[in-house]
Amino acid sequence: NAGVTQTPKFQVLKTGQSMTLQCAQDMNHEYMSWYRQDPGMGLRLIHYSVGAGITDQGEVPNGYNVSRSTTEDFPLRLLSAAPSQTSVYFCASSYRGPVFGNTIYFGEGSWLTVV
């Protein structure tokens, strides 16, 4: 059981470049989301999805794009990288429905540096 898999683990981008952070889960979870973690800021929600074909914005969506064409995958696209997007990115997933104990599983993180 691989859980939540993120790729790449590390990436250096030049300002203005675009790239996609990949996230895949093998637990048949309906809910998936992307967070960024910055020192002293905790984790902040970028985008989330409640099922295939459905996405919504989180707290800090600007500069990012997502899509959810399958249940398993939830890629995060940086449209034109900026130094302010240097961060650690975490993908997370959870089961569908308001059931208590709906554990949210995080991936190992993707370290992105924009120079």
Q: Which residues bind other proteins (CB under 8 A)?
A: 4, 30-31, 33, 35, 40-45, 48-50, 56, 58-59, 90, 92, 94, 97-98, 100-109
Cα–Cα distance for residue pair 74/67, rounded to 1 Å:
6
Quick one: 33 or 85, whose CB is closer to other proteins?
A: 33
Cα–Cα distance for residue pair 63/17, rounded to 1 Å:
12
Cα–Cα distance for residue pair 104/35, rounded to 1 Å:
12
Cα–Cα distance for residue pair 91/109, rounded to 1 Å:
7
| Displacement of CA 29 from its chain's centroid (Å) | 14
Quick one: 1 or 97, whose CB is closer to other proteins?
A: 97
Shortest Å distance, C-beta 80 to other proteins: 25
Shortest Å distance, C-beta 44 to other proteins: 7
Quick one: 14 or 42, whose CB is closer to other proteins?
A: 42
